[in-house]
Amino acid sequence: MRPDWMLEEEYAAIPETLELREISYIIHCAGQRDEVCTLITTLKDKKIYLQEEIISLYQMRWHVEVDIRCLK
């Protein structure tokens, strides 16, 4: 069902399905249990978008958000 704010042409252009890439990695914290983190992205090409780079960018983004929260 198309939302009221969306034009019919925009709604018609939305694909029926969306291919995504799932990346999982483990966060190790001394003295705590390991935690599995799962990222979902539309950056599907593994040759261009390396898993390690995506994880690194996500971790940097996470730290920025935590720092901004501390500044508020």
Q: How far apart are CA 45 and CA 19, in angstroms?
A: 11
DSSP conformation class of 61: H
CA gyration radius, the chain: 18
18 three-class SS: coil
Kindly list the domain boundaries of the chain, sorted by start residue: 20-71
Q: Which residue has the tokens 């935590």?
A: 66
DSSP conformation class of 63: H
Read off the pLDDT of residues 24-55 as tens digits, 9 standing for 90 and up.
Answer: 999 888 999 999 999 999 999 999 999 999 99
Would you say residue 72 has pLDDT above 80? no
On whether the pTM is more than 0.75, the answer is no
Would you say residue 61 has pLDDT above 80? yes
The 3-state secondary structure of 33-50, one letter per residue: CCEEEEEEECCCCCCCCC
Where residue 68 falls among pLDDT bands split at 50, 70, 90? confident
Q: What is the pLDDT of residue 13?
A: 95
Q: What is the pLDDT of residue 5?
A: 97
